[in-house]
Amino acid sequence: MHVVTVDQLPVDGLGSVSVPFLGQSVCAGFPSPADDFLEEALGLPRWLVPNPPAAFLWRVAGWSVVGAGIHDGDIVVVDRSVEPKQDDIVLAIIDGAASLKRYRLDGNRAVLAFDNPELPAAAIEDISEAAIWGVVTVTLRLNRPLVRLRR
């Protein structure tokens, strides 16, 4: 008989925090019809969000970072207090539009790359206007739609 052990996460006493949605959806390809069903905030375990004042949620629309395991419809936790490092997924505002990208350093220049081999990379200096809003620290995915309760 094969025995599987599951380690418990030490979450007792840490509580939860309310993390707000900052925007409708982040482009990772195409717009999502799920945007119509966004909540204002989600309660998450405190251990998932170490710096709540710097964190926000954003719903993913599209497949540009599917290589990172982030899919259309996922919700990401973005932390503005985390400095991006090589290969982090970041939320960038590029020419006024929010987009998830893989952050890479190529020599002394930063590159914002899709994590989908079918899409091209773009150097930050090749973009007319770009700003990194934060680093994606957690990805949330519903495997089955939730039933919405009326208030």
pLDDT digits (tens, 9 = 90+) for 38-59: 458 999 999 999 999 999 999 9
What pLDDT sits at residue 118?
82
Calculate the CA 48 to chain-centre distance: 13
Q: Which helix (H) or strand (E) holds 104?
A: strand 97-106
Tokens of 115: 């994590």
According to CATH, the superfamily of the domain at 16-140 is Umud Fragment, subunit A (2.10.109.10)
* pLDDT greater than 70 at residue 75: yes
* pLDDT greater than 60 at residue 151: no
**Each residue of 129-145: b (16+ CB within 10 Å) or e?**
ebebbbbbbbbeeeeee
Specify the 3-state DSSP secondary structure of 35.
helix
What pLDDT sits at residue 1?
66
Largest separation between any pair of C-alpha atoms in the chain = 61
Closest CA to 49 of 131, 114, 112, 134: 134
Q: What would the mean pLDDT of 81-107 be, rounded to a whole number?
A: 93
**Each residue of 91-105: b (16+ CB within 10 Å) or e?**
bbebeeebbbbbbbe
Question: Band of the pLDDT at 117, cuts 50, 70, 90?
Answer: confident
Q: What would the mean pLDDT of 130-147 be, rounded to a whole number?
A: 88
Among all residues, which ones are annotated catalytic? 64, 101
What pLDDT sits at residue 136?
98
- Average model confidence (pLDDT) for the chain? 82
Higher-pLDDT residue of 124, 129: 129
Domain boundaries, the chain: 16-140
Closest CA to 127 of 106, 107, 113: 113
What pLDDT sits at residue 70?
96
Neighbours of 47 (CB within 10 A): 13
* pLDDT greater than 80 at residue 93: yes
Tokens of 76: 């990401």
